[in-house]
Amino acid sequence: MSLESGAVTGVVICDHGSRRTQSNDSLNDLAQRFASRFADDCSIVEPAHMELAAPDIAMAYARCVEKGASHVVVLPLFLAKGKHWTRDIPSLVQQAAVKFPNTSYQIAEPLGIDDLLLDLLKKRFDADDQPRLVSGEADPRLKDTPATDRRIQCGICPFFVDKASGAVRVKPESGLSLSGARNS
Chunked in runs of 10, what are the mean pLDDT values of the chain (184 residues)?
67 94 94 96 95 95 98 96 93 96 96 93 90 86 77 62 71 65 43
pLDDT in the model for residue 19? 87
Q: Which of 63, 59, 65, 61 is nearest to 75 (CA)?
A: 61
Show Cβ contacts of residue 27 under 8 Å, excluding neighbours closer than 6 positions: 13, 15, 47, 49, 77
Instruction: List the domain boundaries for the chain.
Output: 9-112, 143-174
CA 135: distance to chain centroid? 31
| pLDDT (0 to 100) of residue 137 | 86
Peptide bond into 158 cis (omega under 30): no
Q: pLDDT value at position 127?
A: 92
User: What class is the 9-112 domain?
Assistant: alpha beta
Using alpha carbons, select from 130, 19, 14, 26 the residue that is nearest to residue 77.
Answer: 14
Helix or strand or coil: residue 31? helix
Question: Residues 143, 157: contact at Cβ < 8 Å?
Answer: no
DSSP 182: -
